[in-house]
């Protein structure tokens, strides 16, 4: 059975994007953080995206700029399977991408039963909220950034029921980032 995990950056006040959808505040390039990012991207996973996050990622990771800035992460992002959930997107042309227009929860239930690498969600707050509500997410890796946005997009907007998590480990960085690893309590 494939696990579903989330990796998201979050402001200190709990937002994954500001009110305009900007996430540039979450991209720091100091050596310690870059090494962690490269190491963290080294695992094999299939990525799950909503349309907005997919289009943002597809506009960056295949570019020469991405390959220069973070070559290991760019290589992983481009090589791994990507599954984008969208009812409006007509095509998904980024290398190794499959477009799924069916019911998100039903499709992820099927994906979890298939053989293959783990499933990883990055960004895609509406997908995180829906799959959290359906109790299909196994773990959350949250990077708390030392920034307060004052408003924006929540990763759990629309969640109807409380979600109990268990903290498994933490790691802090000199740039002020703190990574929290949680598992869903069953």
Question: Domain residues of the chain, as ranges?
Answer: 4-184
Q: Please state, in angstroms and rounded to a whole number, the distance separating the CA atoms of residues 88 and 18.
A: 24
**φ/ψ of residue 126, rounded to 5:** -70, -35
* CA 104 to chain CA centroid, nearest Å: 16
- What's the pLDDT score for residue 28? 72
Q: Please state, in angstroms and rounded to a whole number, the distance separating the CA atoms of residues 175 and 9.
A: 14
- pTM summary value: 0.91
> Within 10 A of 28 (CB to CB), how many other CB atoms are there?
17
Domain 4-184 has CATH 2.30.30.830: no
List, for the chain, all residue ranges whose pLDDT scores fall below the cut of 70: 41-42
- What's the pLDDT score for residue 27? 77
Burial class (CB in 10 A: 0-12, 13-18, 19+), 4: buried
- What's the pLDDT score for residue 120? 95
Q: Please state, in angstroms and rounded to a whole number, the distance separating the CA atoms of residues 130 and 115.
A: 23
- What's the pLDDT score for residue 72? 82
> Within 10 A of 142 (CB to CB), how many other CB atoms are there?
19
The 3-class secondary structure across the chain, one letter per residue, is: CCCEEEEEEEECCCCCECCCCCCHHHCCCCHHHHHHHHHHCCCCEEEEEEHHHHHHHHHHCCCHHHHHHCHHHHHHHHHCCEEEECCCCCCCCCCCEEEECCCHHHHHHHHHHCCCCEEEEECCHHHHHHHHHCCCCCEEEEEEECCCCCCCECCCCCCCCCCCEEEEEEEECCCCCEEEEEEECC
């Amino acid at each position: 059975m494939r696990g579903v995990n989330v990796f998201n950056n979050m402001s200190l006040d709990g937002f994954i994007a500001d009110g305009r959808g900007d996430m540039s505040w979450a991209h720091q390039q100091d050596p310690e953080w870059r090494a962690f990012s490269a190491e963290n991207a080294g695992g094999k996973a299939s990525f799950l995206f909503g349309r907005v996050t997919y289009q943002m990622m597809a506009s960056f990771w295949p570019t020469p700029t991405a390959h220069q800035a973070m070559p290991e992460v760019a290589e992983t992002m481009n090589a791994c399977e990507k599954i984008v959930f969208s009812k409006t997107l007509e095509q998904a042309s980024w290398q190794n991408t499959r477009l799924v227009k069916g019911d998100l929860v039903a499709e992820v239930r099927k994906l979890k039963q298939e053989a293959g690498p783990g499933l990883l969600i990055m960004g895609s707050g509406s997908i995180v909220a829906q799959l959290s509500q359906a109790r299909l997410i196994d773990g959350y890796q949250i990077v708390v950034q030392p920034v307060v946005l004052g408003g924006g997009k929540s990763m759990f907007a629309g969640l109807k029921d409380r979600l109990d998590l268990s903290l498994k480990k933490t790691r802090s960085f000199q740039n002020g980032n703190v990574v929290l690893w949680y598992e869903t309590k069953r």
